[in-house]
Structure 1
Amino acid sequence: MTLYLLSFLGFLIIGIPVAFSLGLSSIAYLIVNGQMHLMIGFPQKMIAGIDNFVLLTIPFFILAGNLMNSADLTRQIVRFAQMLVGRVRGGLAAVNVIASMMFSGVSGAATAEASAIGSVMIPAMKRDGYKPEYAAAVTAAGSILGPLVPPSLALILYGVLTGTSIADLFLAGIFPAFALCAGLLVYALIKARREDHPLPPEVPADERASLALKAVPALLLPVIIVGGIRSGVFTPTEAAAVAVVYALAVGLLLYRTLDARKIFSSFYEAATMTAGVMLIVAMASMTSFILGIENIPREIAAQMLNISSTPWVLILLLNLVLLLLGLFLEPLAALVLVMPILNEIFPLLGIDRVQFGVMVVLNLMIGMITPPVGLCLFIVSAIGRTPLERVAVAILPMIGIALVILALVAFVPFLTLSLPALFPG
């Protein structure tokens, strides 16, 4: 297995995409171990990895997010957030965080959120006198709110891999997302007082009603998704299709900003993103096959038990490993890769599977904003045209806030399980 890990890291270092690195490492493992005959089963393993009806939700939710973004929803959300915040010192940083929270119900992916919100908010904050690295850092930290609330692609994939209720997972992520949003807001406002950040412009009174009306569709989308699934009106897959129809209706009839070119572009981007996600899942299925051959999941579980049999110690160790993994792997690939191991470890932890899912996803998302290789850091650095190392330093306090929320998710079941219990399906 050491050979597999070394070859995988080597392929990543020389710039080969994660999906192909996973597949090439599996092939290298079989060649060195004289098990080339097993390669015959690789195509079947790849197809089996993505042959799941619920995975249809991923392209539909990606498409719905693209359509809502093409319909100029991002700008509407930002303006509505400005109206909510009002004229407070450092208000534009608070607008950034609140806009990220609102956009979370549309995108479902941290990278999409970092790109969409960053392209609007980072230039605006720079023009207003904020340090470029701080503007980029706030955007990156806010981007991990997306994968915690519906329609989170990471929570969908976790549900598919473990058989956990996707509706429960969607509800379970809401309180942690609000807690993280509140933590980032408090930090932004304290920093604003300390560094004398500027006051934002006031939204004219005659625009407030129209701004609220235009922002309502974005706020309703997650309600429609979770409410429809929870009430039994439609399945998660059907909910994703409903989200696409809803996005088209909003863009064509309410905003009237969608045209044929934007719709085609949204479909094209959804197709390319889906192909990338499914390729990662398929290739990671080959890795899971290798792990099964080596019986790695059970060995890791046994080694962890040798260290300690106390559940809270095992949870801390697992969180540390997942945080490190999130530094180097895209979350969806990491989920497929580690779930065979986590399924062996899970019974030892004494926590609910829904709570466990939110903990795992939040771990991997924190990795996306953690130096030196967090993907969202690269995105916001490019948008803000700011050196990565400066953004990495600016985001450290926000990573600390995220780690506090992670600890609460891991050790306070109420935070994740209260909403699923309140709205049984």
Structure 2
Amino acid sequence: MTLYLLAFFGFLVLGVPIAFSLGLASLTYLVVNGQLMLLMAFPQKMIAGIDNFVLLTIPFFILAGNLMGAANLTQQIVRFAQILVGRVKGGLAAVNIIASMMFSGVSGAATAEASALGSVMIPAMRRDGYNPAYAAALTATGSLLGPLVPPSLSLILYGVLTGTSIADLFLAGIVPAFLLCGLLITYALWKARREDHPLPPVMPKSERPGVIARALPALLLPVIIVGGIRSGVFTPTEAAAVAALYALLIGTVIYRSLSPRQVVNSFYETATMSAGVMLVVAMASMTSFILGIENIPQSIAAALLSLTDSPLFLLILLNIILLVLGFFLEPLAALILAMPILNQLAPVIGLDPVQFGVMIVFNLMIGMITPPVGLCLFIVSAIGRVPLDQVSRAALPLIGICLVVLALVGLVPALSLTLPALIGN
């Protein structure tokens, strides 16, 4: 296994994309160890890794998010958030976070959210006198709300890997997302008073009904997704297709901001993004196969259990390991690689699979706002034209808030299990 890890990190250092680094490391392992017969299993395992009907939800939800973005949805959500916040000191920072929460129900991906909202909110906050590094860090942290609420791509993948109900996972992430949103707003308002941040501009009362009317169709998307799945009207895969069709209809009929060229571009971007996700899943499946050959999951689980048999200490240790893993790997790849080990430890820790999934996904997502592979940090740094080290320093208190929410998700089952239990099967 040491050979595999050295090859993997060696390819990463050389700048090879993570999907190809996973595949090349697997190939290196098989060749050097003389297991050439297993090379025939390489394409078979790759195909088997993505041969799952539920994975069709990913390209459909990506398409829905791209169509919504092309329809200029971001501006509608930001203006609606301004109505909710009103005129308070530091209100634009609160608008940033609330808009992130609303946009989460459309994108399902942290990187898409950081890019879409960052292009609007970071320049606006800079113009109002906010520190650009703080504006960028706040946008990056707010983007973590995306993977917690439907249609979260990471929760879908966890559901596919473990057989957990995707509808329950969608519901389970909502309360932790609202908790994170509330704590980030509290911090932003406290910082505003401490550093005398400016008041946001007043929106004329005559414009408010129109803003609300234009924002509501987009905000209904997560309700349609979860409500349709939970009521049994359609499956998760069908829900994704309905979401894409709904996004196309409101973009062309209600907003009338989607041109044929934008629709074609949205399909093209969806194809490229979906191909990237599926390539990571396929390559990571081969890595999981190698882990199985070496009995690595069982060995790591046994090593951890030899340190302690306390579920609480195991939970803490597991979260620390996942946080470190998230520093270096993209969340989807890290999730696939970690699941064989996590499946060995889950019965000992004793968490409900739904709660366990929300905790794992949020843990790995924190890596999106931490160096050295924090994709959301790189995105907001480029948009705001702020050095990465400045954004990273500004993000430290916000990462602390995320860790508090992560601890609560792991220790308080009601946060993630109450909503699925209330709505029922």
In 2: Cα distance, 1:31 partner to 1:69 partner? 45
Q: Which residue of 2 aligns with 1:310?
A: 310
Q: Which residue of 2 aligns with 1:325?
A: 325
In 1: Cα distance, 2:59 partner to 2:31 partner? 35
In 2: Cα distance, 1:56 partner to 1:269 partner? 16
Q: Which residue of 2 aligns with 1:138?
A: 138
Could you tell me which amino acid in structure 2 is paired with residue 119 of structure 1? S
How far residue 86 of structure 1 moved from its aligned partner, in angstroms, is 1.1
In 1: Cα distance, 2:325 partner to 2:379 partner? 19
How far residue 93 of structure 1 moved from its aligned partner, in angstroms, is 0.6
How far residue 175 of structure 1 moved from its aligned partner, in angstroms, is 0.2
Could you tell me which amino acid in structure 2 is paired with residue 331 of structure 1? P
Q: Does 1:63 align with 2:63?
A: yes
In 2: Cα distance, 1:69 partner to 1:121 partner? 15
Q: Which residue of 1 aligns with 2:97?
A: 97
Q: Which residue of 1 aligns with 2:193?
A: 193
Structure 1 SS opposite 2:241:
helix
Deviations 1:144-163 (A, max 9, x none): 00000000000000000000
Could you tell me which amino acid in structure 2 is paired with residue 77 of structure 1? I
Could you tell me which amino acid in structure 2 is paired with residue 286 of structure 1? M
How far residue 370 of structure 1 moved from its aligned partner, in angstroms, is 1.3
Alignment of 1:165-244 (within 5 A): 165-244=165-244
Q: Which residue of 2 aligns with 1:266?
A: 266
Verify the 8 A CA contact 1:54 1:160 in the aligned structure 2. yes
Q: Which residue of 2 aligns with 1:14?
A: 14
In 2: Cα distance, 1:372 partner to 1:266 partner? 30
How far residue 368 of structure 1 moved from its aligned partner, in angstroms, is 0.6
Verify the 8 A CA contact 2:136 2:380 in the aligned structure 1. yes
Deviations 1:276-322 (A, max 9, x none): 00000000001001000000011111001100000010000110011
Moved over 4 A (4+): none
Q: For this pair of structures, how many residues does the alignment match?
A: 425
Structure 1 SS opposite 2:129:
coil
How far residue 387 of structure 1 moved from its aligned partner, in angstroms, is 0.2
Alignment of 1:70-149 (within 5 A): 70-149=70-149
In 1: Cα distance, 2:69 partner to 2:217 partner? 12
Query: 5+ residue gaps in structure 1?
Result: none
Structure 2 SS opposite 1:15:
coil
Q: Which residue of 1 aligns with 2:300?
A: 300
How far residue 211 of structure 1 moved from its aligned partner, in angstroms, is 0.7
Q: Which residue of 2 aligns with 1:383?
A: 383
Verify the 8 A CA contact 1:372 1:392 in the aligned structure 2. no
How far residue 201 of structure 1 moved from its aligned partner, in angstroms, is 0.3
Q: Which residue of 2 aligns with 1:31?
A: 31
Could you tell me which amino acid in structure 2 is paired with residue 288 of structure 1? S
Instruction: State the TM-score, normalized to the length of structure 1.
Output: 0.99
How far residue 373 of structure 1 moved from its aligned partner, in angstroms, is 2.5
How far residue 371 of structure 1 moved from its aligned partner, in angstroms, is 2.5
How far residue 218 of structure 1 moved from its aligned partner, in angstroms, is 2.1
Q: Does 1:251 align with 2:251?
A: yes
Verify the 8 A CA contact 1:111 1:375 in the aligned structure 2. yes
How far residue 335 of structure 1 moved from its aligned partner, in angstroms, is 1.0
In 2: Cα distance, 1:333 partner to 1:98 partner? 29
How far residue 215 of structure 1 moved from its aligned partner, in angstroms, is 1.1
Q: CA RMSD in A?
A: 0.6
In 1: Cα distance, 2:78 partner to 2:303 partner? 49
Verify the 8 A CA contact 2:359 2:410 in the aligned structure 1. yes
Deviations 1:59-93 (A, max 9, x none): 00000000011111000000111111111111111
In 2: Cα distance, 1:249 partner to 1:375 partner? 31
In 1: Cα distance, 2:336 partner to 2:191 partner? 39
Q: Which residue of 2 aligns with 1:338?
A: 338
Verify the 8 A CA contact 1:83 1:202 in the aligned structure 2. no
In 2: Cα distance, 1:184 partner to 1:137 partner? 11
Structure 2 SS opposite 1:267:
helix
Could you tell me which amino acid in structure 2 is paired with residue 206 of structure 1? S
Structure 2 SS opposite 1:47:
helix
Deviations 1:215-274 (A, max 9, x none): 112221101000000000000000000001110111011111011011001000000000
Could you tell me which amino acid in structure 1 is paired with residue 179 of structure 2? A
Q: Does 1:289 align with 2:289?
A: yes
In 1: Cα distance, 2:317 partner to 2:374 partner? 21
Alignment of 1:392-403 (within 5 A): 392-403=392-403
Deviations 1:402-421 (A, max 9, x none): 00000000010000000000
How far residue 7 of structure 1 moved from its aligned partner, in angstroms, is 1.0
Could you tell me which amino acid in structure 1 is paired with residue 310 of structure 2? T
Q: Which residue of 1 aligns with 2:367?
A: 367
Could you tell me which amino acid in structure 1 is paired with residue 292 of structure 2? G
Could you tell me which amino acid in structure 2 is paired with residue 20 of structure 1? F
In 2: Cα distance, 1:277 partner to 1:96 partner? 28
In 2: Cα distance, 1:372 partner to 1:265 partner? 31
In 1: Cα distance, 2:129 partner to 2:146 partner? 27
Verify the 8 A CA contact 1:107 1:146 in the aligned structure 2. yes
Query: 5+ residue gaps in structure 2?
Result: none
Deviations 1:75-130 (A, max 9, x none): 00001111111111111110000000000000000000000000000001011111
